[in-house]
Amino acid sequence: MIAVRPAPLVKTTVSASAAKYLRSEIIGGGIRAGDSLPEARIGELLGVSRVPVREALVILEREGLVTFDRRGTARVRTFTLEDVRELGVMRLVLEPMAARLAANRGDATALGEIARNLTNLKRARTLSDITGLDFEYHRLIMAAAGNSRLSASWENLASQLRVVMRLFHQAWERKTLAVRINTVKAHAALFDAISRGDGAGAESIAREQAEGWLVELGESGAFDSPVEARE
């Protein structure tokens, strides 16, 4: 039997905790696009050494939230219009198939979770809550599909999608004042097809909505220039 040494596990836990904190701040907008992430300062704030902070930043780089410059300085990633269009294309590839599979599978527990999400969305009052429920709705459909590899492909983009959804919703709400209404309408239409077991219909609706999102991303104006960048 291989002996397990405790030190690496402790270090990994600290790194994971630091990554979780930084991820939450970036996704929520507490740390904004273009902000530098000095290891020493972050370590001081979190009460840890620079090593786990560096490891946390590498984790976030893999998730697409952080970039390193030539000097090794980390900054929060600024999403360009091309970046978000690429993410939109990935949604277009993954989500229609997930909707079809979820409808065909018809898992009662999964459908119940999606229904509760939709109910909560109808009651949501803050834009932050709406964005969180929007993201979770799509995650629940991916899980309801019952295809672990499909879901894993989507999860690899999850952190970036959460940031983009927040920025998109903020810009779209300023334009329309109707993010919750439009989101409820779209989610209800897709869920209706999924809950009826209409795989082809669910796939078609999900594709149409993903294509619409691609168009709206450009029209929102949120990504025409560097977003939230600060010197």
Residue pLDDT, tens place only, 14-29? 999 999 999 999 999 9
Q: Quote the percentage of the chain above a pLDDT of 90.
A: 91
In this structure, is residue 228 part of a structural domain? Answer: no
> Could you tell me which residues come within 8 angstroms of residue 73 by beta carbon, excluding any fewer than 6 positions away?
36, 37, 38
In this structure, is residue 87 part of a structural domain? Answer: yes
Based on the fold, state whether residues 32 and 122 are members of the same structural domain.
no
Read off the pLDDT band of 37 (50, 70, 90): very high
Predicted confidence at residue 224, as pLDDT, reads: 73
| Mean pLDDT in residue range 41-58 | 95
Based on the fold, state whether residues 100 and 207 are members of the same structural domain.
yes
Based on the fold, state whether residues 172 and 209 are members of the same structural domain.
yes
Predicted confidence at residue 27, as pLDDT, reads: 97
In this structure, is residue 227 part of a structural domain? Answer: no
Q: Return the axis-axis angle of helices 6-28 and 39-46, rounded to nearest 10°.
A: 100
- Spatial separation of the C-alpha atoms in residues 140 and 143, rounded to whole Å: 5
Comparison of pLDDT for 12 and 67, the residue scoring more = 67
Based on the fold, state whether residues 121 and 188 are members of the same structural domain.
yes
> Could you tell me which residues come within 8 angstroms of residue 134 by beta carbon, excluding any fewer than 6 positions away?
121, 165, 169, 183, 187
Based on the fold, state whether residues 47 and 157 are members of the same structural domain.
no
Task: Indicate if the pLDDT at residue 140 is higher than 90.
Answer: yes
Residue at which a domain ends, from 76, 96, 113: 76
Based on the fold, state whether residues 153 and 59 are members of the same structural domain.
no
Based on the fold, state whether residues 88 and 201 are members of the same structural domain.
yes
SS3 177: coil
Based on the fold, state whether residues 100 and 72 are members of the same structural domain.
no
| Mean pLDDT in residue range 115-134 | 98
In this structure, is residue 230 part of a structural domain? Answer: no
Residue 162 structural domain? 81-220
Based on the fold, state whether residues 100 and 56 are members of the same structural domain.
no
Contact 133, 117 (CB under 8 A): yes
In this structure, is residue 16 part of a structural domain? Answer: yes
Q: pLDDT tens across 185-225, in order?
A: 999 999 999 999 999 999 999 999 999 999 999 999 999 75
Per-residue tokens: 91: 């949604």
Predicted confidence at residue 225, as pLDDT, reads: 54
Based on the fold, state whether residues 67 and 101 are members of the same structural domain.
no
Q: How many domains does the chain have?
A: 2
